[in-house]
Structure 1
Amino acid sequence: MKTRILLLLLALVTIPCFVQAAQREEPTIYVIKQGDTLWGISERFIKDPNYWPNMWSNNSQVTNPHFIYPGQKVRVFPDRLEFVPREQPVAVTQKAVPAPAAEEMREVAAEKSYTVFGSEGFILENGVKPAGMVIGIQNDRILAGDDDIVYTDIGSSQGARGGEKYSIFRKDSTVTHPVTNEVMGTKIIPLGTLQLTDLERNSSRAVVARSSKEISPGSYLLPYKGSSRREVSLKMSTRELKGYILDSYSGISIIAAGDIVYIDLGSAQGAEVGNILYIVRDVVLDQRYAEGRIDKLPQELLGALVILETGKKVATALVVKSIDAIYKGDRLVSMTK
């Protein structure tokens, strides 16, 4: 008899534990609202705004991590988020979002933004010339840094005045299109800033106000535009964009998340700062097995980038996600509103 009583008490104690465990695994359902983003949802529910790449890569129905559709449903677990497939109805046993939480969700999730520091470099396009060059360094030195005296070919005949500032760039390499072989321009890398002190008609003396890298004769000069640090918020493209990756800041062959790249899309094509583009690659089909029945395979999704600065026909961009190795010549596509 005592044994039966003990077994009964044990059962009464353990059953609620199983019920609570099951309830903990039972997700709540959140319905996407206008303005929501994966970053905002990740930060709101699991306090990790950087969780969004997992949601993107694990959910094939989400082709654009910035633009998700009102009415989509998300299963909210304590440690993860899952999209409910469109063809799968929400089970009636799942809990609805409690009224207080639903009220809180009316607030639109903040959009993700990226900080531009001005050190990303860009492609100086054909036909665009620098304002001048560093033509020498005091005492015939070959390298200059902070507070050093340099000489430029900018003078009063160009309308320059003492005290004016110029940004200093290194001429890096000529950039050609990976498909058409068209020369797109010259990659230039920021080195610092200088300030003119004394001017002649066609030359000037200047002091290096700030340097991030060593400065040498031959460095390009462009008018100083003030602090280059700014925030770039993501925005949907208003038109369809298709292009290619031209080169990377570092020049390395393999490109990954966090790398700066240069692309063949600029303001002339409708590209804007903040546009997010998807990096894709065509899959080569072996016709020996297709027997001529198939001419094209779905593209391979490699990652995503956001445009930081645009020129007329080119732009500087940051790779924000990579799920495979990315190379110069990989294709870019956008999703429009």
Structure 2
Amino acid sequence: MRSGRHLLLVLLLGSCLATAATRDSGDLSQYLRDDHPDVYTVVKGDTLWDISGRFLERPWLWPEVWRINPQIENPHLIYPGDRIHLVWVDGQPQLRLERGDAGRTVRMTPSDTESLHPQVRATPLESAIPAIRLDAIQGFLVQNRVVEPGVLEAAPYVVQGESERIVVGAGDRVYVRGDLPDSESFSIVRKGPLYVDPETNEVLGREATYIGLGQAVAQDGQIATLRVDSSREEIQIGDRILPTEERRLQSTFYPSAPADQVDGEIISVFGGVTQVGQFDVVVLNRGEREGLEPGHVLAIYKRGALARDRIANEVIRLPSERAGLLMVFRTFEKLSYGLVLETERALAVEDEVRNP
């Protein structure tokens, strides 16, 4: 899950920051770190979260102190070599950009625009920095999804591999029971965990774990033939076939606090473990219907332990204690995925999430 670094999400602050900056956060100077720099030079490998944390005790307040310089081309993109200046305007801190050589220098490539005159397309030599570490969430952005439980139960499924093989992979063919329109692409998925809200017992959805991608090449009665074009792991009998998901890839993140009150908990962690650490991907029992959006930052609270009150002779729960931060990076109607950005102690499933 963490091996790939091919997907680079461009940090785009744009007009959304202007809106965020108008929110009333009081005196922003109180959130400056005591050891903040006056100027910071961006280096390769930085993320927005890293840079914001150098200036602010609350990195999610970045949109409220960032100011765009209209004289700089693409001022909403930050590149290695750029310099971030802390300045004061009317008694309030602001962060401003001074473009470095990597963001100014361009490579020239042929334009794909038809014209009677020769044209070139100019792009910076360096890539803009991302908002957060991307290697930990790449597969979850593109492939995994959550569906209603009945969707997988009713979906076509693998009955056998080519030449009676039980386990197959990329380049093989599999036989599928169900109707698959010829020449269309399909996702091969496996039943994952069933997510249930621990408070209300509401079924929130079932994980459809991505296994691979294939194309339908034939249909004979109830049996279809699927050519496996790519696979993340071996395909097994019983794996389900779903239409490829048509959705726009979330390619920008705006670290910010949710506008509405959020009270939820971690209900699962990927990787087959129960303990949660930095850069782990977790599942939350709150989603779009509760107002969560990609980029929302939530505080993680270590769930208070149970203790016996010997005076009243009853069991009580001790207060929960703040223990980390996470950023939501993908949302569904009833739940969401989050990346743990900071931890102060060992965390676990059933720990709580709240507004930061």
TM-score, length of structure 2 as denominator length: 0.60
- Per the alignment, residue 141 of structure 1 pairs with 165
Q: Distance in 2 between matches of 1:37 and 1:209?
A: 51
Q: Unmatched 5+ residue regions in structure 1?
A: 1-30, 72-95
Q: Unmatched 5+ residue regions in structure 2?
A: 1-26, 66-85, 100-128
Amino acid at match of 2:139: G
String of CA shifts for 1:151-186, please: whole Å, max 9, x gaps.
Answer: 12332xxxx432111111121333333444444333
3-state secondary structure, aligned to 1:186: strand
Q: Specify the structure having the higher radius of gyration (Cα).
A: 1
String of CA shifts for 1:257-294, please: whole Å, max 9, x gaps.
Answer: 12121111121222222222221124348686999xxx
String of CA shifts for 1:284-314, please: whole Å, max 9, x gaps.
Answer: 48686999xxx99764122222222222211
Match of 2:96 among 102, 106, 130: 106
Query: Relative to structure 1, is the Cα distance of residues 286 and 218 closer, same or farther in structure 2, using a 3 angstrom cutoff?
Result: closer
Q: Distance in 1 between matches of 2:324 and 2:39?
A: 24
Q: Distance in 1 between matches of 2:88 and 2:223?
A: 72
Query: Relative to structure 1, is the Cα distance of residues 119 and 190 closer, same or farther in structure 2, using a 3 angstrom cutoff?
Result: farther
Q: Distance in 2 between matches of 1:225 and 1:42?
A: 45
TM-score, length of structure 1 as denominator length: 0.63
Matched, 1:279 2:303: no
**Mean alpha-carbon deviation: is it higher for 46-55 or for 248-257?**
46-55
Matched, 1:224 2:248: no
Query: C-alpha displacement at 1:136, in angstroms?
Result: 1.9
3-state secondary structure, aligned to 2:171: coil
Match of 1:132 among 120, 141, 156: 156
3-state secondary structure, aligned to 1:194: strand
Q: Name the % identity.
A: 22
Q: Distance in 1 between matches of 2:223 and 2:38?
A: 55
Query: Relative to structure 1, is the Cα distance of residues 220 and 282 closer, same or farther in structure 2, using a 3 angstrom cutoff?
Result: same
Query: C-alpha displacement at 1:235, in angstroms?
Result: 4.2
Q: Is the 8 A contact 2:48 2:130 kept in 1?
A: no
String of CA shifts for 1:189-224, please: whole Å, max 9, x gaps.
Answer: 211101111123533101101001111111122211
Query: Relative to structure 1, is the Cα distance of residues 247 and 226 closer, same or farther in structure 2, using a 3 angstrom cutoff?
Result: same
- Per the alignment, residue 207 of structure 2 pairs with 187
Q: Is the 8 A contact 1:174 1:186 kept in 2?
A: yes
Amino acid at match of 2:194: T
Q: Which has the higher helix share?
A: 1
3-state secondary structure, aligned to 2:40: helix
3-state secondary structure, aligned to 1:231: coil
Q: Is the 8 A contact 1:123 1:262 kept in 2?
A: no
Matched, 1:45 2:45: no
- Per the alignment, residue 321 of structure 1 pairs with 342
